Amino acid sequence: MPAPNLILLYVDNPEVSATFYETLFDQAPANVFPTYAAFAFENGLNVGLWSTKSKDFVSGGSGHRSEMSFMVQDDDQVRALHDRWREKGIPIEQDLHEAVFGLTFVALDPDGHRIRVCTPDE
């Protein structure tokens, strides 16, 4: 069975979202089109940004019910990313706090998708 290798986010404007994620990921997108943008990572993961205004877009759902998460080594890295993203103007929905699994925070992309940073649960 192949392992999942794509996170697909539905966005209003892929070009605007690509600019946001370029700042967040510190890397340029692999592709940017008016209705789709994509990022590719060395670990095989890809993040796609698909326009909800695309002529072939169909979805029965609405809202944002999931999170993209970055698991980092320790609390110092959580704090460092929090500070770096805040300095870059990335909106923070939940500030640094202790959750049941440790120190975490949640940022938002231009479409309201949640982006969590945390440490692995020991």
At 3, the pLDDT band (50, 70, 90 cuts) reads confident
Cα distance between residue 7 and residue 9, in whole Å: 7
At 84, the pLDDT band (50, 70, 90 cuts) reads very high
Given the DSSP bridges, would you call strands 114-118 and 102-108 parallel, antiparallel or unpaired? antiparallel
- Asked if pLDDT for residue 18 goes beyond 90, the answer is yes
At 13, the pLDDT band (50, 70, 90 cuts) reads very high
Output 20 or 119, whichever has higher pLDDT.
Answer: 20
Mean pLDDT of 11-30: 96
Cα distance between residue 34 and residue 102, in whole Å: 39
Which structural domains are found in the chain, ordered by start? 6-51 (3.30.720.120), 67-118 (3.10.180.10)
Residue closest to 13 by CA, chosen among 38, 45, 50, 40: 50
**What is this structure's pTM?**
0.87
For residue 102, give the H/E element and its range.
strand 102-108
